[in-house]
């Protein structure tokens, strides 16, 4: 179990380039299974979850060529379907959440897709109904083995249809889209997730020859095609990383420039941080966070009542940034209610922040009230364990702002989604060491 030692209380300065987006990468990598032709992908983040998926694709028989540290070429022209029945696959598939998205492409192109219950963050129930209900609507037969939590879908030929998703599941929509592009006839997916990463997937598939209309909306209309070809694709910067660096800058009273953020794809993210009183300046395609010497003040609602920040499917605020919002609020002037609607076990990490001296009341598993210190009192260094990827980074931000040396254990959780985080933070002046 890896550990970070962090000496807090140092101001940071400089610029930081966000990595390619983790959650886009997981979709895009699965899409290479849809064609026997070569697909080149750029700006792939070098992080544990993505590397696990690349290794899984390799075992499936995909030819993989590393072109540069963050670019790869993939060619799925000789797929080894026997791997899907192996004990090894049952272990590999469990290793991350994104592996679920190999099912749609395999089902569409080879008539069968299997997956053990996927891994990922332990942040509450993470059901897969949307995925499989979609495949069943397209005509697939579904089976599930309760003993080993193994899912399977099979079909000779998928048939396009109309479907109204029960919820706008991100990976669910991606999975169904990747199945429907090779189905016979037209598929309409209503209540589709429509975040930028899904738009990127749809644009990539269209470049490969798919016919997907409505991209960016919650109604996708897909005319199935016989086959898809190769393409080149470049991942967007990771918006969750971008939000993490905004929070880091404010809480450590540092001046930071976050470069090449693809501002137009950030949705409400900059504004939500502004509601906490943080100055988020647009400079071309960069974000500049000036030094918050006098702290930052949480806005109230127009009627004077306490601000609530909650998550919602895109274009709402992403749940993955609520843990960051929560930690940044601990040093704001004022109070905020953080309401995590999607996941029921994602706020428990606040106990660690309370240990560090933060004023937080966990109202119930979904809601926490934060009363900011306005830097009148600094958080105290402590030893903690990272429970999930975003809580891990939130604790890291807390440690960088705290007095003294903190220890964060189980940093594999952070490495799942943040590339070389210690090296990049040291480059802007953070005192952080990786201890094995």
Ligand X SMILES: C=C(OP(=O)(O)O)C(=O)O
- Residues noted as catalytic: 121
- C-beta of 57 vs 140, nearer to ligand X: 57
Q: According to the annotation, is 175 in a ligand binding site? A: no
Comparing every residue's Cβ against ligand X, the nearest one is 120
Residue 68 has a CB neighbour count (10 Å cut-off) of 8
CB of 181 to ligand X, least distance (A): 23
Phi-psi region of 111 (alpha: psi -120 to 50; beta: other; left: phi over 0): left
241 near ligand X (CB under 6 A): no
Helix axes 103-110, 22-31, angle to 10 degrees: 10
CB of 24 to ligand X, least distance (A): 11
Q: What residues line the site for ligand UD1 (CB under 6 A)?
A: 23, 26, 97-98, 125-126, 167-172, 313, 318-320, 342-343
Measured from the CB atom, the residue of 199 and 413 that comes closer to ligand X is 413
Question: Applying CB under 6 A, what is the total number of residues that bind ligand X?
Answer: 11
* 109 assigned binding-site residue: no
232 is known to lie in a ligand binding site: no
281 close to 255: Cβ distance less than 8 angstroms: no
- Decide whether 96 or 328 has the Cβ nearer to ligand UD1: 96
Which of 250, 390, 419, 421 forms a contact with ligand X (CB under 6 A)?
Answer: 390
Instruction: Using the minimum distance from each CB to ligand X, give the nearer residue, 53 or 251.
Output: 53
Strands 162-164 and 186-190 turn out to be: parallel
Candidate residues 8, 120, 172, 372; the one interacting with ligand X per rule CB under 6 A:
120
CB of 167 or CB of 265, closer to ligand UD1: 167
196 binds, among ligand X, ligand UD1, none (CB under 5 to 8 A by kind): none
Nearer to ligand UD1, 125 or 146 (CB): 125
Here's the x/- map for ligand X, 287-316, by CB under 6 A: it reads as ------------------------------
Q: Which of 24, 92, 121, 241 binds ligand X (CB under 6 A)?
A: 121
Closest by CA position to 374, among listed 211, 201, 253: 253
User: Is 101 marked as binding a ligand?
Assistant: no
Record the tokens describing residue 176, joined without a space: 């169904």
Q: Which does 254 bind (CB under 5 to 8 A by kind): ligand X, ligand UD1, none?
A: none
Handedness of CA 325, 329, 334, 337 (dihedral sign): positive
The least CB distance from residue 158 to ligand X, in Å, is 26
Residues between 316 and 335 that touch ligand X (CB under 6 A): 320
22 is in an annotated binding site: yes
Q: Are 355 and 394 in contact (CB under 8 A)?
A: no
Choose among ligand UD1, ligand X, none what residue 389 binds, the Cβ cut-off being 5 to 8 Å by kind.
Answer: ligand X
Considering the complex, state which of residue 273 and residue 314 has its C-beta at the smaller distance from ligand UD1: 314
CB of residue 196 to ligand UD1, shortest distance in Å:
12
Phi and psi at residue 329, to the nearest 5°: -65, -25
Taking CB within 5 to 8 Å according to partner kind, which of ligand UD1, ligand X, none is near residue 8?
none
97: contact with ligand X by CB under 6 A: yes
Residue 117 contacts ligand X per CB under 6 A: no
Residue 175 CB, nearest distance to ligand X (Å)? Answer: 13
Closest separation between CB of residue 257 and ligand UD1, Å?
26
In the complex, the smallest distance separating the C-beta of residue 103 from ligand X, rounded to whole angstroms, is 15
Which residues have C-beta within 8 Å of that of residue 64, sequence separation ≥ 6? 54, 57, 58, 72, 73, 74
Binding of residue 13 to ligand X (CB under 6 A): no
Annotated binding-site residue numbers for phosphoenolpyruvate: 22-23
Annotated binding-site residue numbers: 22-23, 97, 320, 342
Q: Which residues bind ligand X (CB under 6 A)?
A: 22-23, 49, 97-98, 120-121, 320, 389-390, 417
């Amino acid at each position: 179990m890896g550990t970070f030692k962090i000496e807090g209380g140092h101001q940071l300065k400089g610029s930081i380039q966000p990595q390619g987006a983790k959650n886009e990468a997981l979709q895009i990598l699965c899409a290479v299974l849809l064609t026997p032709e070569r697909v080149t992908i750029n700006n792939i983040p070098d992080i544990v979850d993505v590397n696990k998926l690349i290794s899984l694709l390799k075992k499936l028989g995909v030819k993989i060529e590393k072109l540069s540290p963050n670019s790869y070429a993939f060619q799925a022209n000789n797929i080894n379907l026997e791997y899907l029945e192996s004990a090894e696959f049952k272990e590999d598939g469990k290793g991350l959440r994104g592996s679920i998205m190999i099912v749609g492409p395999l089902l569409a192109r080879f008539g069968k897709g299997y997956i053990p219950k996927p891994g990922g963050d332990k942040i509450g129930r993470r059901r897969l109904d949307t995925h499989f209900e979609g495949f069943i609507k397209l005509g697939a037969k579904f089976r599930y083995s309760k003993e080993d939590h193994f899912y399977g879908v099979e079909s000779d030929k998928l048939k396009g249809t109309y479907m109204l998703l029960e919820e706008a599941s991100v990976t669910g929509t991606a999975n169904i889209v990747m199945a429907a592009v090779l189905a016979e006839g037209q598929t309409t997916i209503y209540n589709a997730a429509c975040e930028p990463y899904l738009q990127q997937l749809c644009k990539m598939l269209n470049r490969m020859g798919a016919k997907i209309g409505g991209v960016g909306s919650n109604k996708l209309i897909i005319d199935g095609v016989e086959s898809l070809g190769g393409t080149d694709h470049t991942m967007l910067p990771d918006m969750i990383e971008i939000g993490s660096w905004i929070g880091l800058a404010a809480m450590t009273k540092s001046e930071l420039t976050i470069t090449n953020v693809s501002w137009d794809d950030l949705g409400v993210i900059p504004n939500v941080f502004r509601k906490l009183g943080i100055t988020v300046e647009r400079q071309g395609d960069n974000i500049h966070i000036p030094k918050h010497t006098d702290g930052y003040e949480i806005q109230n609602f127009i009627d004077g009542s306490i601000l609530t920040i909650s998550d919602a499917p895109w274009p709402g605020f992403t749940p993955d940034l609520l843990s960051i919002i929560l930690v940044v609020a601990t040093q704001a002037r004022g109070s905020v209610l953080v309401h995590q609607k999607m996941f029921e076990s994602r706020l428990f990490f606040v106990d660690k922040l309370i240990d560090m001296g933060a004023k937080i009341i966990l109202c119930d598993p979904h809601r926490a009230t934060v009363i900011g210190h306005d830097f009148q009192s600094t958080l105290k260094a402590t030893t903690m364990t990272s429970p999930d990827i975003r809580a891990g980074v939130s604790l890291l931000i807390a440690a960088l702002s705290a007095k003294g040396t903190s220890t964060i254990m189980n940093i594999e959780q952070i490495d799942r989604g943040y590339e070389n985080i210690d090296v990049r933070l040291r480059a802007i002046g953070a005192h952080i060491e990786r201890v094995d």
